[in-house]
Each structure stands twice: as structure tokens, then as C-alpha cells.
Amino acid sequence: MIPAAFGYQRPATLDEALRAISNGGSGGVKVIAGGQSLLPLLKMRLASAEMLVDIGRIAELKGLGPTPDGGYEIGALVTYAELIAATKLGWTAEAVEQIGDVQVRNRGTVGGSVAHCDPASDLPAIGLALDYSVVLRSSSGERVVPFDGFFRGPFQTAMASDELLVRMRRGPLPAGASGAYRKLAQPASGYSIVGVAAVVAMTGGSISHARVALTGVGEAPYRAKAVEAALLGSDGSSMAVAAAAAHATDGQTVNNDIHADREYRGQMAVVYTRRAIEGALGR
């Protein structure tokens, strides 16, 4: 299909982009970078725009690497392929390699995926497990919002209409922390029916740090805090992991759709949570 008509701007700087977004009001402007999510929606007329603001060539939004405190920072325009090549976390690279196809990974941007907040997107769960935050900027200033609290619902985030996601950052990981991502993929699209990211660390024979996040299960990616609470202080045995994983959907309304009914998806959430935790523990 052909999208409805729209205007187009390609600002050269971040300040120009923020002015264009601010001048566009609340409903008429949409931001485009890699276009791997927005363009199909426009073509199918599931979304429309009076003006597209193309931020894809703004140098200030590129780049990634470690921060002085031992954390990590990723510019909004970093592509999946660039993240795979740069990250020192092998499990993260393996997870991102499962996203889309070569074209999507070469064109799609990390910031675009996070801002889009598809309920089955992989990156939000990975970022939640790694305790990332988003840096949002508008013409009036900048604020930092943790991933845990940024995702509000299907395609809904805490970002205001005049804000732009400019980068993502996290602090240093706990000593000895390791992670894993396990997913049940929809065969045709590769999207997660269930996707689980886990980051754990052990101290003195017990789990001292646990972050577990799920995607594809609820209305938005979320941290499974009941799972985390059950893991903390445990010995990380198979029995302890299984008992913790049983809480994977606590407090969530599990999705029910053509790809998986609620009961099956809920059961797979428990299975893949256990697998992700075991993977993070090196099993």
C-alpha cells in the first residue's frame, strides 16, 4: 500500500530536530530514524503523520562505548549491527543477532526500538535486565528515566510529545554478573511470543543480584520482580530457580492472540524464565 501524504524535514542538528518536534504539536509529527518499524505502519495506513522529522543523520545521536564509571552508553542512532559489533557482553550480541534479518539489523536503531515499545520487542527486556535508563531531551531541558517505568503499555512510553530519546545508559554491572536471553520466537516474524533476559551475580554461594525481564508476555516489557525477590539469597540450585521462575507472570495480564493463547504463553513464560536464569548461571 501507499502511505497518506506527509511533509518531510531532515534536521542537521539535535537542536533543529527538537525545534521541529516542538513546533509540530502533539499529533502531527512523527520521528523517523531507521524506519524499520514506522514505515511499514505508514504503508499499511495503521499510522499517519502530517510531518516526518528524519533524525537519521544527526551525529550527536550516534556512538556507543563505556563510561568513566564503568557503565555503558548507547546513542539513539546506533544500529543493531553496530551494537553487536561493539558490545563486550557476548550474550547481548547473541540476543540482538536474533532480531529481524540483516536489513533490519543494519538499518534499525536501538533508540527507535526502545521508543517504539512494541510489546514483543527484544531490546527493552535486555535493557531492563541490565538496568538501563533513557535520556530524554526537549527544547526545555533533559531528564533521565529508568527503563523500569519507561514502558507504559503497547506502543506507549513515558516520553512526552516534545521529547526525543537521545541515548541510553547504565551504571557498572555487579562483580561477577553474567546474563542470558532466551526466547520463543514467532516463526514468520521472529518476534518474541515469550522473551526473557536474566542478569545474575553470586556472592559466597548465594545469588546477590538478580534482574529478570520479560517481553511478549504482557502489554509492555516488564521486570519480573517476584522472580528476582525469590532468587535473591537462594543458592541458585535447579529447585530454587524453578520455584522463582514460577512467578514469571505475577501481576501481569498475559497476552492472548493468534500466536499463542493466554494459558500456553503463561506456561512458556515460566519455562523460558527458568532457561534464561539457568543460562545466566552458566548451565
Tell me the pLDDT tens digit for each residue of 78-106: 999 999 999 999 999 999 999 988 988 99
Tell me the pLDDT tens digit for each residue of 194-228: 999 999 999 999 999 999 999 999 999 999 999 99
Instruction: Please indicate, yes or no, if residue 30 is contained in any of the structural domains.
Output: yes
| pLDDT for 24 | 64
3-state secondary structure of 227: helix
Domain boundary among 110, 144, 170: 170
Instruction: Please indicate, yes or no, if residue 114 is contained in any of the structural domains.
Output: yes
Residue 44 has pLDDT above 80, yes or no: no
Instruction: Please indicate, yes or no, if residue 21 is contained in any of the structural domains.
Output: yes
- Whole-number average pLDDT of the chain: 93
**CA distances (Å), origin 190, targets 53, 97, 187, 249:** 28, 11, 6, 22
Cβ atoms of residues 122 and 95 within 8 Å: yes
Residues 43 and 63 in one domain: no
Residues 194 and 212 in one domain: yes
The more confidently predicted of residues 23 and 131 is 131
CA atoms within 13 A on the CB side of 8: 7
Domain boundary among 170, 196, 216: 170
Stretch among 5-14, 60-69, 71-80, 174-183 having the lowest mean pLDDT: 5-14
Residues 247 and 266 in one domain: yes
Q: Which residues touch 108 (CB under 8 Å, ≥6 apart)?
A: 34, 36, 37, 79, 80, 99, 100
Cβ atoms of residues 236 and 242 within 8 Å: no
Residues 140 and 216 in one domain: no
Residue 244 has pLDDT above 90, yes or no: yes
The more confidently predicted of residues 189 and 238 is 238
Tell me the pLDDT tens digit for each residue of 144-159: 999 999 999 999 999 9
CATH of the domain at 12: 3.30.43.10
Instruction: Please indicate, yes or no, if residue 119 is contained in any of the structural domains.
Output: yes
Residues 227 and 272 in one domain: yes
Q: What is the DSSP letter of 116?
A: H
Q: Which residues touch 115 (CB under 8 Å, ≥6 apart)?
A: 31, 76, 157, 159, 165
What the block records as the C-alpha cell of 234 is 537462594
Strands 133-138 and 64-66: unpaired
Residue 136 has pLDDT above 90, yes or no: yes
Q: What is the mean pLDDT of residues 129-135?
A: 98
Instruction: Please indicate, yes or no, if residue 2 is contained in any of the structural domains.
Output: no
Stretch among 16-30, 79-93, 179-193 having the lowest mean pLDDT: 16-30
Helix axes 262-280 and 238-245, enclosed angle (nearest 10): 140
Domain boundary among 170, 199, 218: 170
Tell me the pLDDT tens digit for each residue of 63-84: 999 999 999 999 999 999 999 9
Residue 26 has pLDDT above 60, yes or no: no
CA distance 79 to 87: 12
Residues 20 and 82 in one domain: no
Residues 274 and 193 in one domain: yes
Instruction: Please indicate, yes or no, if residue 64 is contained in any of the structural domains.
Output: yes
Q: Domains in the chain: how many in total?
A: 3
Q: What is the mean pLDDT of residues 12-21?
A: 92
**CA distances (Å), origin 108, targets 4, 45, 91, 238:** 23, 20, 20, 38
Q: What is the mean pLDDT of residues 32-49?
A: 73
Residues 165 and 184 in one domain: no
Residues 199 and 166 in one domain: no
Instruction: Please indicate, yes or no, if residue 68 is contained in any of the structural domains.
Output: yes
Residues 161 and 249 in one domain: no
Residues 73 and 46 in one domain: no
CATH of the domain at 67: 3.30.465.10
Residues 151 and 244 in one domain: no
Residue 27 has pLDDT above 70, yes or no: no
| pLDDT for 45 | 76
CATH of the domain at 238: 3.30.390.50
CA distance 101 to 98: 8
Instruction: Please indicate, yes or no, if residue 1 is contained in any of the structural domains.
Output: no
The residue segments making up the domain with residue 125 are 59-170
